[in-house]
Structure 1
Amino acid sequence: MFLRNLCVFSPPQPLDVKTKFYNSDRDDLFLEIQIQNISPATVFIQHVSLELPEMYTQRPLNTLNVDGEYQCTFGTRTYLQTMEGRYYLYHLQVKGEYLERARTLCGVAKMGKLNIVWKKELGEMAMLYTVPLERKIESFGDLKLSLEKIPDTVVLEEPFQMTCKITNCSDRKMNLIVKMHNTTSVHWFGRSGSYLGKLIPGSSISFTLTLMCLQLGLRRISGLRIIDTTLKTKYRYDGAINVCVVPSMDKMES
């Protein structure tokens, strides 16, 4: 009697694929993909594509406008030598009808998959390499503060403005006011305790504040408080924003 042994071997993939998401304060993000040939043979990349969830649109950033024509940043070359790699960059945006839902997401989110069609030698049947995409979404608690507009540099002891946006990430309606507290390096202008309005879950509101820095160098903006009067909850935002403070040219010349 003879026993036949069947062994199944899974050949290793010749590609090492790394992905990284870059979050934005706005309702979009960027995806960076690094593909490296880790096999001893040349690999030919035929096609790279993304399959995203319905709530996202994509715009590849891998082309250049040369004399009115768009050309791939990699040229016409489609192969990778051993240990050679290349980068792909995509701009992802949330569709308008999904904005409120996207603003309340947290934890690990499924972001579709990355498909790479490759082959080792000319004439060889092409192979499909699929990489599932996941994005870790930072939890901002019930209320998220993001920066919409602020000068790159500000002048010492001269007022300037910054525009912020707050998003209700909770499942309840909020009734908000804003309070400002002066620090040794930052003084606020305007009436503290101003009413911002009511904010339903998933919605946002923008507001502009005026302040002045009293110390040179890179300074953290502190002393901002948002209070939900419904539950008497206070949200503190200290050091979330940095600004570069430079001396006045008029004072330097005098």
Structure 2
Amino acid sequence: MVGHCIDDVIHDKILNPGRVIPKSSVSFQLNVQMFLSKICLFYPSEPLDVKTKFYNSDKDDLFLEVQIENISHSTVFIREVSLKLPEMYTEEALNTLNLEGEDECTFGTRTFLQATEGRHYLYHLQFKEEYLEKARTLSGLMEMGKLEIVWKRELGEMPMLHTVPLRREAPSCGELKLSLEKIPDTVAREEPFQITCKITNCTDKKMKLLLKMFDTTSVRWCGCSGRKPGRLKPGSSLSFTLTLLCLQLGLRSISGIRVIDTTLKTKYCYDDVANVCVLPSMVNMKS
């Protein structure tokens, strides 16, 4: 009727904060059927500031650090923090301590964050066995799934979902990656010691390898240079042990490893692959 109004308030819940575009529509009739539609745009404030960082290791795994901070002026209750990873990964949460035979959360029984308070979460990610060879050839920016945080402001309130997409830059290891599996922290001067290396074929072609070692001013390699580790398939790895000794005291760099692909006549040079602390020999000190 003329002069009358409808005063109804419509309530709704926003489950995932961020950009929200609600659309309201009203139909009414004068002489003909009329229709009115309006679109609004607003950004609800998010109380959580989330930072993520990936750490690569020399092995076929990586670590994810998650930092969550309450940047609002009120208390926020953290109900759940979970990862949704791609199919090729498995996860292990490192956020518990074993106390008296029982696993307890590192944050205790508290489920809330006061204003400006933060938490750190750590996860260990590994490739599944069936995806291991494929993973060794990955490079560039990779989609790593998402991090989901379920939170709420008040007890009894409907939980909200905060989603953080995860991406990481796969380390570029070139065509042939060399990593150390075993190396001592300290060695004695002029006394032989061993290191265990692993080489990985990061290409899509087979390699026929030749291994050579070259002496430096502080390092002498023992044994015959020019051994043949054999053929290496794409994405596969092989390990080998080398013997060497250091001539100078102090922190010394291990260099002089050369791997040659005899099929394509390509040489790969590996210098400064690790450092060892060289101490005086006890035999020489006694003499």
1:162 alignment partner AA: I
* Residue range with higher mean Cα deviation, 180-189 or 18-27: 18-27
Residue 16 of structure 1 aligns to a residue whose secondary structure is strand
- The aligned residue for residue 155 of structure 1 is 188
- Deviation, structure 1 residue 13: 1.3
The answer to whether structure 1 residue 71 and structure 2 residue 104 are counterparts is yes
TM-score, L = length of structure 2: 0.85
1:79 alignment partner AA: F
- The aligned residue for residue 91 of structure 1 is 124
- The aligned residue for residue 244 of structure 1 is 277
Which structure has the larger Rg? Answer: 2
Cα shift readout 1:199-239 (whole Å, capped 9, x = no counterpart): 11100010000000111111111110000000110000011
**Cα distance in 2, alignment partners of residues 102 and 16 from structure 1:** 31
Aligned equivalent of 1:58, options 78, 91, 96: 91
- Deviation, structure 1 residue 11: 1.1
Aligned equivalent of 1:116, options 142, 149, 161: 149
Cα shift readout 1:28-50 (whole Å, capped 9, x = no counterpart): 11111110111111111000000
TM-score, L = length of structure 1: 0.96
RMSD: 1.4
**Cα distance in 2, alignment partners of residues 252 and 79 from structure 1:** 60
Cα shift readout 1:106-133 (whole Å, capped 9, x = no counterpart): 1111111100000112222110000011
**Cα distance in 2, alignment partners of residues 19 and 155 from structure 1:** 42
Residue 269 of structure 2 aligns to a residue whose secondary structure is strand
Cα shift readout 1:135-176 (whole Å, capped 9, x = no counterpart): 111111110001100111111111000000000001111000
Percent identity, aligned pairs only?
71
Give the gaps of 5 or more residues in structure 2.
1-35
Give the gaps of 5 or more residues in structure 1.
none
- The aligned residue for residue 32 of structure 1 is 65
Residue 135 of structure 2 aligns to a residue whose secondary structure is helix
Alignment of 1:180-199 (within 5 A): 180-199=213-232
**Cα distance in 2, alignment partners of residues 69 and 222 from structure 1:** 46
Residue 166 of structure 1 aligns to a residue whose secondary structure is strand
1:247 alignment partner AA: P
- The aligned residue for residue 106 of structure 1 is 139
- The aligned residue for residue 11 of structure 1 is 44
